[in-house]
Amino acid sequence: MAVDDSAYEALMQFLYRTPIGLVQTTLDGTIEMLNPMSSQLLMPLAHDGALENLFVVLDRVAPQLRQLVGGFAPASGVVCEGLRLDVDGGAQVLSLNMLKIDNTRLMAAVSDVTLETQREQERLAHRLSNAARTDALTRMPNRSAVLEQLRLVQEREPATDDGSGFAVLFMNCDRFRQVNDALGQRAGDQLLIMIADRIRSVLRPPTDRIGVHGGQLAARVGGDEFIVVLDGLRRPEDAESVAARLIATVGRGYTVQGHDVVCSVSVGIAWGGAALQEPDELLRDASIAMVEAKRAGGGRHVRFAQAMRERAARRSDIEADLRLALQEDQLFVVYQPVVALRADGSTDYSAGVEALVRWQHPLRGVVPPFEFIGIAEESGLIGPLGDFVLQRACTDFQSWRQSLGDGAPRLLAVNLSRAQLGQAGWSETVARILAQTGVEARQLQLEVTESLAAQDAQIQQRLHELKALGITLALDDFGTGYSSLASLHLLPVDTVKIDRSFVSQSESSEHHRVLIEATVKVAQSLGMSTVAEGIETTAQAEVVRALRCDKGQGYLYSKPLTSDALLTWLASHRTGG
Dist. CA 325–CA 417, nearest whole Å:
19
Percentage, residues of the chain above pLDDT 70: 91
C-alpha distance from residue 250 to each of 171, 176, 191, 246, 364 (Å): 10, 12, 11, 6, 43
Fill in the amino acid letter for 77.
G
E strand or H helix that includes residue 412: strand 412-415
Number of H helices, E strands in the chain: 21, 21
Dist. CA 202–CA 179, nearest whole Å:
23
Number of residues that make up the chain: 577
Give yes or no for residue 6 having a pLDDT over 80: no
Question: Which one has a higher pLDDT value, 147 or 15?
Answer: 147
C-alpha distance from residue 554 to each of 82, 110, 191 (Å): 86, 93, 45
CB proximity list for 278: less than 8 A, separation 6 or greater: none
Give yes or no for residue 256 having a pLDDT over 60: yes
- Most confidently predicted of 66-70, 210-214, 309-313, 417-421: 66-70
Domain covering 328-572 in this structure, CATH number: 3.20.20.450
pLDDT band at 338 (very low <50, low <70, confident <90, very high): very high
pLDDT in tens, 481-500: 545 677 788 888 999 999 99
Give yes or no for residue 159 having a pLDDT over 60: no
Mean predicted lDDT score pLDDT of the chain: 88
For 134-304, CATH number out of 2.40.110.10, 2.60.120.10, 3.90.79.10, 3.30.70.270 equals 3.30.70.270
Beta bridge partners of 31: 25
Give yes or no for residue 16 having a pLDDT over 90: no
Least confident among 255-269, 272-286, 438-452, 471-485: 471-485
Beta bridge partners of 34: 23
Give yes or no for residue 163 having a pLDDT over 60: no
pLDDT in tens, 398-438: 999 999 998 999 999 999 887 788 777 889 999 999 999 99
- The model carries a pTM of 0.61
Give yes or no for residue 231 having a pLDDT over 80: yes
Is the distance from CB of 105 to CB of 95 less than 8 angstroms? no
pLDDT in tens, 509-550: 998 999 999 999 999 999 999 999 999 999 999 999 999 999
Mean pLDDT value of segment 138-143: 91
Dist. CA 523–CA 530, nearest whole Å:
7
Q: What is the pLDDT of residue 157?
A: 54
Closest residue by Cα to residue 434 from 463, 402, 399, 398 = 398
Question: Which one has a higher pLDDT value, 504 or 480?
Answer: 504
Burial of 8 (0-12, 13-18, 19+ CB in 10 A): exposed
Dihedral in degrees, nearest 10, Cα atoms 285, 286, 289, 294: -140
Per DSSP, the residues of 2-69 read HHHHHHHHHHHHHHHH-SSEEEEEETT-BEEEE-HHHHHHHGGGSGGG--SBHHHHTTTT-TTHHHHH
pLDDT in tens, 352-391: 999 999 999 998 899 888 889 888 888 888 889 999 999 9
Mean pLDDT value of segment 48-58: 90
Helix, strand or coil, per DSSP, at residue 332: strand
Q: What is the pLDDT of residue 577?
A: 46
State how beta strands 301-303 and 265-272 pair.
Answer: parallel
Alpha carbons within 13 A on the beta-carbon side of 489: 6
CB proximity list for 323: less than 8 A, separation 6 or greater: 381
Mean pLDDT value of segment 322-346: 93
CB proximity list for 78: less than 8 A, separation 6 or greater: 97, 98, 99, 100
Residue spans of beta strands (DSSP E) within 75-184:
77-87, 92-100, 105-112, 165-173
**369-379 and 306-327 helices cross at what angle (nearest 10)?**
90
Dist. CA 26–CA 101, nearest whole Å:
10
Instruction: CATH 3.20.20.450 in the chain: give the residue spans.
Output: 328-572
Domain covering 2-116 in this structure, CATH number: 3.30.450.20
Give yes or no for residue 455 having a pLDDT over 90: no
Mean pLDDT value of segment 200-211: 85
Q: What is the pLDDT of residue 7?
A: 67
Percentage, residues of the chain above pLDDT 90: 55
Give yes or no for residue 158 having a pLDDT over 80: no
Helix, strand or coil, per DSSP, at residue 289: helix
Is the distance from CB of 520 to CB of 549 less than 8 angstroms? yes
